[in-house]
């Protein structure tokens, strides 16, 4: 049996095995995210053949669905006591996590446009993504909301953040290696389907191993029952309005929306860069491994440095440098001559991205702690849902940039582009990311005001308030 509790004064602590089990969800999330961000746009535009305008429209509708789906699920799960004897969050996590693992197969089983028609491909692309996101939101909103409620000690939160970095890095590694190697081995005709089946199996295994970490123990369930008995539920839009008024939350949220948009755009553009600029086969996408190694080797340093300079400064430094590195894509020479610059860029990006990933969960927890004290009620699900509501703007931003580049520069996603057309691709991956990232850093600097001392005090206050 895994030992869960470690005595530490009044605030319960957990073993590293439990923290790692909890954070296995991040492994799945990053594996899926990497696989989608690096392969989805290329698959549907270059292999399936969806028209760029229909791709853009589908992503806009999908974004709207996300923006409605996420905060509503967060709000209703915050209110629900249907399965509370098994835990406030645990049952919902399982109900979403298991079917979510299989949706990847459906998404990559899409027929080609030349065979089924543009309308069929459009509906397949749209509906499969919407269904996938519903299961994902049900699972991830509740898992994310459980973290600050269960993991309350600030050292555990940072340890969990460090573990998260390694698990997320492993997830990114899996999300890179499996698609590239399988597609390289079996070709595009069967490779994408085989890839999706393998990814689905890995995700399911990780979700099952996550259960010990996300299961709510007796103390948490009893505390939740006590809170729910006294809790007065307010209207959804009133709660969401309060969340938007929270300056700390908005600063945190805007930064990570921009961060997701920046990295999502870079990863989605990578297959096009490898094929059209580096002029390599699918195997060239493995350059992302240099980014992963950078994250792995520098994460311990960022963890230690965050105690000296604070979480806020750590994130601001890493975010600014990360966006600036993307400018290298403007000067990458064609062919093999561009490989050294790509390697340098990915190593540098990984070295600073480790700092951003490590600080994600501690930052969110600090925001939730502060909001709980101010409002007298726990709203983790609502905050996570509201965050995801705005996070989906990154989908529209990325799709709009793809549409702009292909329309204005006449860039052809199926290849055979002139140097003039490739300028659009260079701007897509080199200029837009830094603009997006700098906006996020500036907003975070202005809005997020929680000090390290306040973080420590808030955890003790929550214990006294029994929240």
Q: What is the DSSP string of 23-76?
A: THHHHHHHHHHHHHHHHHHHIIIIII---HHHHHHHHHHHHHHHHHHHHHHHHH
To the nearest 5 percent, what fractions of the chain are helix, strand and coil? 85, 0, 15
* pLDDT in the model for residue 7: 42
**Residue 432 contacts by C-beta under 8 Å, 6 or more apart in sequence?**
265, 401
Cα 132 from chain centroid?
15
Measured distance CA(432)–CA(394) in Å, rounded: 12
pLDDT for res 225: 60
Distance CA 224, CA 84 (A): 8
pLDDT (tens place) for every residue of the chain, 467 residues total: 344 444 444 667 777 788 888 888 889 988 998 898 888 988 998 899 999 899 999 988 988 887 777 767 766 766 666 666 666 678 888 889 999 999 999 999 999 998 999 999 999 999 999 999 889 988 888 887 777 777 776 677 777 767 877 888 788 889 989 999 999 899 888 899 999 999 999 999 999 999 888 877 766 666 666 565 555 555 556 666 777 788 888 888 889 889 988 888 888 898 999 999 999 988 888 888 898 888 888 878 887 888 888 888 888 999 999 999 999 999 899 988 999 999 999 999 988 888 887 787 778 888 878 877 877 776 666 676 677 777 778 878 888 898 999 899 999 888 888 888 999 999 999 999 999 999 999 999 899 888 877 877 877 777 776 66
How many CB atoms sit inside 10 A of residue 324's CB? 16
14: β partners: 5
Q: Pick the closest to residue 310 from 453, 462, 439 (CA basis).
A: 453
- List, in sequence order, the alpha helices (H) in 151-235: 154-214, 218-230
Q: Which fold has domain 19-223+235-465?
A: Growth Hormone; Chain: A; (1.20.1250)
Q: What pLDDT, on the 0 to 100 scale, is given for residue 84?
A: 64
Strand partners, 13: 6
Among 232, 211, 184, 234, which Cα is nearest to 90's? Answer: 211
- Encoding tokens for residue 256? 């990570």
Sign of CA dihedral 347, 348, 349, 351: positive
pLDDT at position 5 is 46
| Residue 313 exposure: Cα atoms within 13 Å on the Cβ side | 10
- CA dist 209 and 256 (Å) reads 27
Q: Would you state the structure tokens that stand for residue 399, as one six-digit string?
A: 């799709």
Q: Which residues, in sequence order, are CB contacts of 347 under 8 Å at separation 6+?
A: 290, 291, 293, 294
Give me the phi and psi of 385, to 5 degrees please: -65, -40
Using the structure block, give the residue that is written with the tokens 């709000």.
75
pLDDT the model gives residue 435: 93
Looking at the DSSP bridge assignments, the partners of residue 6 are 13
Residue 6, pLDDT score: 43
Q: Taking the model in full, what pTM does it have?
A: 0.70
Domain ranges of the chain: 19-223+235-465
CB 161 within 8 A of CB 23: no
Backbone angles phi, psi at 287, to 5 degrees: -60, -20
């Amino acid at each position: 049996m895994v030992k869960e509790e470690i005595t530490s004064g009044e605030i319960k602590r957990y073993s590293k095995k439990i923290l790692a089990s909890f954070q296995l969800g991040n492994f799945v999330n990053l594996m899926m995210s990497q696989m989608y961000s690096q392969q989805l746009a290329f698959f549907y535009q270059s292999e399936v053949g969806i028209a760029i305008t229909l791709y853009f429209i589908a992503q806009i509708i999908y974004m709207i669905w996300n923006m409605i789906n996420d905060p509503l699920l967060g709000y209703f799960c915050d209110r629900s006591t249907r399965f509370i004897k098994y835990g406030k969050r645990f049952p919902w996590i399982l109900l979403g996590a298991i079917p979510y693992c299989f949706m990847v197969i459906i998404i990559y089983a899409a027929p080609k446009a030349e065979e089924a028609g543009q309308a069929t491909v459009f509906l397949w692309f749209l509906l499969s993504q919407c269904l996938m996101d519903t299961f994902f939101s049900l699972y991830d909103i509740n898992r994310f909301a459980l973290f600050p409620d269960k993991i309350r000690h600030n050292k555990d939160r940072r340890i969990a953040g460090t573990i998260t970095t390694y698990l997320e890095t492993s997830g990114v590694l899996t999300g890179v290696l499996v698609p590239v190697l399988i597609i390289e081995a079996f070709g595009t005709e069967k490779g994408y389907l085989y890839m999706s089946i393998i990814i689905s199996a890995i995700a399911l295994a990780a979700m099952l191993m996550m259960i010990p970490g996300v299961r709510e123990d007796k103390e948490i369930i009893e505390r939740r029952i006590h809170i729910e008995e006294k809790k007065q539920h307010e209207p959804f839009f009133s709660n969401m309005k309060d969340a938007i008024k929270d300056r700390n939350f908005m600063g945190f949220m805007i930064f990570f929306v921009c961060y997701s948009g920046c990295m999502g755009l870079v990863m989605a553009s990578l297959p096009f860069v490898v094929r059209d600029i580096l002029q390599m086969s699918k195997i060239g996408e493995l350059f992302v491994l240099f980014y992963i190694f950078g994250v792995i080797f520098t994460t311990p340093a960022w963890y230690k440095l965050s105690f000296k300079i604070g979480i806020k400064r750590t994130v601001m430094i890493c975010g600014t440098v990360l966006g600036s590195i993307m400018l290298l894509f403007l000067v990458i020479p064609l062919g093999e001559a561009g490989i050294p610059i790509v390697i340098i860029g990915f190593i540098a990006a990984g070295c600073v991205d480790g700092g951003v990933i490590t600080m994600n969960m501690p930052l969110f927890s600090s925001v939730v702690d502060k909001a709980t004290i101010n409002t007298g009620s726990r709203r983790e699900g609502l905050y996570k849902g509201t965050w995801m509501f705005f996070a989906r703007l990154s989908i529209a931003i990325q799709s709009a940039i793809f549409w702009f580049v292909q329309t204005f520069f006449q860039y052809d996603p199926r290849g055979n582009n002139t140097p003039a057309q490739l300028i659009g691709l260079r701007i897509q991956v080199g200029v837009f990311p830094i603009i997006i990232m700098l906006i996020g850093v500036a907003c975070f600097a202005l809005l997020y005001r929680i000090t390290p001392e306040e973080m420590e005090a808030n955890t003790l206050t929550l214990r006294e308030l029994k929240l």
